[in-house]
Amino acid sequence: MLTSLRSGAEFTHFANYAQNDSKILLDALLQAREYIFKEYSVDFMDSVSTSSLAMRVFRTGFLDSFIPTLTQPVDSLVRSAYFSGACDVYKKFGTGLYYYDINSLYPYAMINKLPGAYLRTVYQLSSLDDFFGFVQARVTYDGSKGVPLLPLRTTTGVSYPTGT
């Protein structure tokens, strides 16, 4: 903290150190920028993180096929639907039951195609048999199954409502 510096000499020493540290960092960034542009024809100033820089390098230098990306409104819609898993037990004992414990489902799912390109808006869908993609839906559930069906995120938390 600057208030802990006891004299003008200590502050001057600190200021020189901070200035040299900043110059070294700038020099390293400029050299990295030049190297990445020379090797991959990518300017890292167009990336906001190392992850986005890695994806940009991958797409421009190594990717042989197109990876679709969602538009901002569609991306927001899809992200608003993500919930962590609900792990509840509704039947403590039974016979002839099957138990499943799925490990590494995310990496397994990532080997499949992902929906990404906007195709169409459907106002009535009778079956999901031939459908692949994201759906914004109005769902009615009367609670007759006795278990929560779909989570709903509200300002007070997550609930599993019945009704529409």
Residue ranges per structural domain of the chain: 2-61, 68-164
Q: Is the pLDDT of residue 23 over 70?
A: yes
Q: How far apart are the first and last CA of the chain?
A: 57
Instruction: State the pTM of this model.
Output: 0.46
Residue 56 near residue 42, CB atoms below 8 Å: yes
Q: What digits encode the pLDDT tens for the residues 63-110? A: 888 777 778 888 888 888 777 666 666 667 788 888 777 777 778 777
The token duo for 141 is: 């559930």
**Residue 21 near residue 14, CB atoms below 8 Å:** no
Highest mean pLDDT of the ranges 70-74, 121-125, 129-133: 70-74
Q: What average pLDDT is seen over the chain?
A: 82
Q: What are the residue ranges of helices labelled H in the chain? A: 8-40, 50-61, 72-80, 105-109
Contact 147, 86 (CB under 8 A): no
